[in-house]
Structure 1
């Protein structure tokens, strides 16, 4: 069976349909036949809720819905056929009860092949001890067994499409139209259909993710369904009214997405530029069809996707989706949509026949139909307003989903009457009250970035430990906000305005629009600071706003200094501002290394009794989970050569990070390969282009592997032989060095900055002069030839990382300082 086809299209979250469910309509329909009243749980005990999901292997559309269901019912227990998640932050750390398929051979990668066993497996999950069962189903989750006193509410992403209306397409694309295998597949799908209809009778209330799916539910199960559109994180995308002259499409490259048709269409329009973002099995096929006016970018991090989506003239979408999350995300950026006129897009896009249109449709999945639609769009471009697109997208927000879904469940479960929707922070419904200890310290954390950089990952560890006592303010939306929300923390995103353009290397003092943005951020931050004991600034721009807000709100400010404030890292104007803020409003500084602390003290003459060094803490769990996994399996997953000697670089692509030094070392050392994990994040695209041009010029194409942004750093590090840290200017700390040690890989690092406080040369790592490609090449060659040296470095490095850079030591150190500063302010 074709595993790609067994990944249903309903895994993409579905935007709000055109017909929304009113509060009155959210009340479940009257049952078709009368039934004896259920026993309801005693009022003196909490309602026990189980959430059942099909399978947990990735974070896609269905999992985004699951994430918000968990947010609605944070004390519920989770069940699934299998759980092979690497990143499980969206589940808030909850354990998952799985079926026997979890332990079958090759289940991690071939779980879809066990489709014939899935009905049996889902029926073996024991949820008999719960009052309410909520299933999140695109395959078999709705078939979980429930009793007469239990209420079963099933949120259906789609009935099993490859068993119903897409059976013939599935068989054709799987090459199962004839022969014994075809007969076996048809028999299995017939059995699945019979089982699917029978189990529908055990569902008390169906919820569909669109009117399109509601019609499918009625067709298949002869049951009505309420529509609650899936959550779309529209707040992660910001409105842009200025559009560039290019079209965009973004998707996983699998057959039903029809990216090849879009590329074919633009090949017929050489005067129109198309940008394609995404990766997948069809990548080579799509590249082969690309004309010079089509740019294939491959997989890109969120920041790049958002940037292109905000700037695009229009977003082109050719799939027949049950919903199509990217369609709504594009509109959230103020970008109109050109979409295939079937499925969920009809519920999320307003075409030219409607007031305030947000896009238009084409009728057939053919290249010439797309060409005609693009020409119609060009002729009517002025009819589409970015503000109208944004307003339409806001109908599909996360908040909207939570309110509607929670209201529907509460109306279906009498025992939940009077219970209110948990706050975004995710306080469990059955938590009577917070402990006195959790109220002892209240913190407002401030960070400038929405990107998951090193500073943000370090803050995330603090936030997880203090989640009931901490509120976070960001000046930019993005993956960091998503991670904070998944951690169950209250997050506010404030618009940074012109402040976003300020850079560390700025030479002039800010003025005009920048100052206006600063005033607005200070005022809003000070308002939030009124309800906390201390402001905890995590980055430099956050420190400036925090210092001013602290003065206004009369709250102490602690700056977690994660930079070396020297001319190599900061411009003269920025250093002047840091000196001024240190005198004006900083109560205490936490430095991430002695190098950072020393540079700050030298610049500001700050009282050294108010500077503490707390090394960053890094969670070992992701690395420990992969300890027994063969590197060959990880290399295969990442598309890396199995038998090469791989040297990995892990950081954003920026000149001061020195990836070019590693490439120069590769020229000198032809027996090695370089793996570059990271993407340009802050206007550094030209540097990436320079690296790629160097690779081509030196004939390194077979030996240099650009992996772009990767979430699972632990897996990437475990896949390489050596972790190289090549910064050409002093690193404030060197998080990558510690991560490499936790990954049990020998580390080679630049001899400067905070790295000197981590690496003991020749004992737990090797040091090279910064920027010296010859020395780096020689050191890597020495390491490759000496197995005993590698083993010694790995053993000592792992011991160092565990002893000095554990998360508990880090969190305890930061919390101790925050408490001390808050207590001193209270006394004074």
Structure 2
């Protein structure tokens, strides 16, 4: 895993106290990874106001609810939480309508359009980029391909919208003075799509909230992810139909799965939990056999949270997962003896093809070496992503003392 050394003394917090910062987030509809990042930034910048396209009241923690100072015109639409994804072509207009006069610095937490906010001329705009807008760049086929419901019918229209969004997204990237990426994987995509350099600050995981359990693992696997195309819940369902192992899925449900029961035969072993409290989530992490992550992750906070709870991970071995876990390829598991395994400190079994068959084989390989993941090794790996590390790097960045981050301009 690449090092993230930030040279120089600890940051002086005084410049942060005297500023009038604004935090810009795409939307507030639930406490997922991006909202957890926003929560920590709100604590780091207690005087900051939060701006967002729309806010479903009661969907995030009170610490965020109370900080929302402005929303776009989209927030006036009734029942927006159920259909906002269909309004994607309006998002650029909506974010450009947010008024940030007098705010400096501006920090956007962006996976969609937040980075496209129009900053005042003298303001410093730092974008913490969770990912370039995946819908219009590399994952367009996954979201709008012919295999998606209605994809063949709407493909010509969606292609035109994606072209418009790509043009806008590239132009909007020029409004950012400084890009900070959540992983080296995302930094490379920022370079590819925007032609910009980005330093890396990994997202924060609060190790105090996620602890191993003395009771150890119970007989179930765990998935923590929204039911979105890039998370590849379809691969999990396919693999666990074959395996007939219990699996619990934490996350939002779409379409036929909204009633909590997955469609199709052979899925009685799958339990859909929806979103759960932080306390329940920590308990599920601490007692699962392993966390399963089947999608191409930009970083992967859920794998780090699971490792903090002393539980291993089975992950698709590409993208951000190569940074959030220390993985061994499933095909190499039979060739690696216990001594070498423990010396290398593996925390995950990874598979190299995004297919249900590859995930099935990875689970089977994991079960042969399930006793090779000491909780202390997993937690030690997770500690490098603790929120205290994140906070220190952001303090240095915002106070102008982070030389490596300034190099990311």
TM-score range, shorter chain: 0.7 to 0.9
User: Is the alpha carbon distance of 1:72 and 1:303 closer, same or farther for their aligned partners in structure 2, counting shifts above 3 Å?
Assistant: closer
- Give the Cα–Cα distance (whole angstroms) in 1 for the partners of residues 306 and 28 of structure 2: 27
Native 8 Å contact 1:81 1:98 kept in 2 = yes
- Give the Cα–Cα distance (whole angstroms) in 1 for the partners of residues 102 and 221 of structure 2: 49
What residue number does 1:51 align with?
23
- 1:31-79 CA-to-partner distances (Å, cap 9, x unmatched) read xxxxxxxxxxxx9x93221211112222221111111111111101221
- Give the Cα–Cα distance (whole angstroms) in 2 for the partners of residues 304 and 148 of structure 1: 45
1:379 and 2:368 aligned = yes
Native 8 Å contact 1:26 1:408 kept in 2 = no
Give the one of 84, 87, 106 matched to 1:133.
Answer: 106
What residue number does 1:68 align with?
40
Give the one of 347, 369, 388 matched to 1:358.
Answer: 347
Native 8 Å contact 1:123 1:143 kept in 2 = yes
User: Is the alpha carbon distance of 1:372 and 1:407 closer, same or farther for their aligned partners in structure 2, counting shifts above 3 Å?
Assistant: same
- Give the Cα–Cα distance (whole angstroms) in 2 for the partners of residues 189 and 399 of structure 1: 38
Native 8 Å contact 2:139 2:230 kept in 1 = no
- Give the Cα–Cα distance (whole angstroms) in 1 for the partners of residues 323 and 298 of structure 2: 10
- 1:222-254 CA-to-partner distances (Å, cap 9, x unmatched) read 111111111223321212365346241223344
Q: What is the RMSD of the two structures over their aligned residues, measured on CA atoms?
A: 2.9
Give the one of 210, 213, 217 matched to 2:190.
Answer: 217
List gaps (5 residues or longer) in structure 2. 329-340, 404-409
Native 8 Å contact 1:99 1:124 kept in 2 = yes
Native 8 Å contact 1:276 1:297 kept in 2 = yes
What residue number does 2:335 align with?
none
What residue number does 2:319 align with?
343
Where do 1:407-446 residues align within 5 Å?
Answer: 407-411=396-400
1:325 and 2:301 aligned = yes
User: Is the alpha carbon distance of 1:334 and 1:289 closer, same or farther for their aligned partners in structure 2, counting shifts above 3 Å?
Assistant: farther
What residue number does 2:337 align with?
none
- Give the Cα–Cα distance (whole angstroms) in 1 for the partners of residues 25 and 54 of structure 2: 9
SS at match of 1:213: helix
Native 8 Å contact 2:396 2:402 kept in 1 = no
What residue number does 1:259 align with?
233
Native 8 Å contact 2:112 2:132 kept in 1 = yes
Decide which moves more: 325-334 or 276-285.
Answer: 276-285
Give the one of 392, 396, 407 matched to 1:403.
Answer: 392
- Give the Cα–Cα distance (whole angstroms) in 1 for the partners of residues 164 and 9 of structure 2: 33
Task: Please identify the structure whose Cα radius of gyration is greater.
Answer: 1
- Give the Cα–Cα distance (whole angstroms) in 2 for the partners of residues 367 and 234 of structure 1: 32
- Give the Cα–Cα distance (whole angstroms) in 2 for the partners of residues 289 and 178 of structure 1: 26
Q: How many residues align?
A: 377
- Give the Cα–Cα distance (whole angstroms) in 2 for the partners of residues 75 and 357 of structure 1: 41
What residue number does 2:406 align with?
none
What residue number does 1:492 align with?
none
User: Is the alpha carbon distance of 1:301 and 1:132 closer, same or farther for their aligned partners in structure 2, counting shifts above 3 Å?
Assistant: closer
- Give the Cα–Cα distance (whole angstroms) in 2 for the partners of residues 176 and 360 of structure 1: 36
SS at match of 2:349: strand
1:278 and 2:243 aligned = no
- Give the Cα–Cα distance (whole angstroms) in 1 for the partners of residues 388 and 290 of structure 2: 26
- Give the Cα–Cα distance (whole angstroms) in 2 for the partners of residues 153 and 170 of structure 1: 28
What residue number does 2:331 align with?
none
User: Is the alpha carbon distance of 1:381 and 1:58 closer, same or farther for their aligned partners in structure 2, counting shifts above 3 Å?
Assistant: closer
User: Is the alpha carbon distance of 1:403 and 1:200 closer, same or farther for their aligned partners in structure 2, counting shifts above 3 Å?
Assistant: same
- Give the Cα–Cα distance (whole angstroms) in 1 for the partners of residues 241 and 93 of structure 2: 49
> How far apart are 1:92 and its partner, in Å?
6.4
Where do 1:73-472 residues align within 5 Å?
Answer: 73-86=45-58, 87-91=60-64, 93-104=66-77, 106-172=79-145, 173-175=147-149, 177-178=151-152, 181-240=154-213, 243-244=216-217, 246-251=219-224, 252-270=226-244, 273-278=245-250, 280-281=253-254, 283=257, 286=262, 288-290=264-266, 294=269, 296=271, 298-299=273-274, 300-352=276-328, 355-411=344-400
- Give the Cα–Cα distance (whole angstroms) in 2 for the partners of residues 384 and 378 of structure 1: 11
Native 8 Å contact 1:250 1:277 kept in 2 = yes
Native 8 Å contact 1:152 1:203 kept in 2 = yes
SS at match of 1:215: helix
User: Is the alpha carbon distance of 1:230 and 1:413 closer, same or farther for their aligned partners in structure 2, counting shifts above 3 Å?
Assistant: closer
- Give the Cα–Cα distance (whole angstroms) in 2 for the partners of residues 297 and 261 of structure 1: 15
What residue number does 1:423 align with?
none
Native 8 Å contact 1:26 1:404 kept in 2 = no
SS at match of 1:90: helix
Where do 1:632-671 residues align within 5 Å?
Answer: none
Native 8 Å contact 2:103 2:120 kept in 1 = no
User: Is the alpha carbon distance of 1:186 and 1:393 closer, same or farther for their aligned partners in structure 2, counting shifts above 3 Å?
Assistant: same
Q: Which has the higher contact order (CA 8 A, sep 6+)?
A: 2
- Give the Cα–Cα distance (whole angstroms) in 2 for the partners of residues 413 and 21 of structure 1: 11
- Give the Cα–Cα distance (whole angstroms) in 1 for the partners of residues 217 and 349 of structure 2: 19
Native 8 Å contact 1:240 1:386 kept in 2 = no
- Give the Cα–Cα distance (whole angstroms) in 1 for the partners of residues 379 and 277 of structure 2: 22
List gaps (5 residues or longer) in structure 1. 1-17, 28-42, 415-828
Give the one of 2, 24, 35 matched to 2:7.
Answer: 24
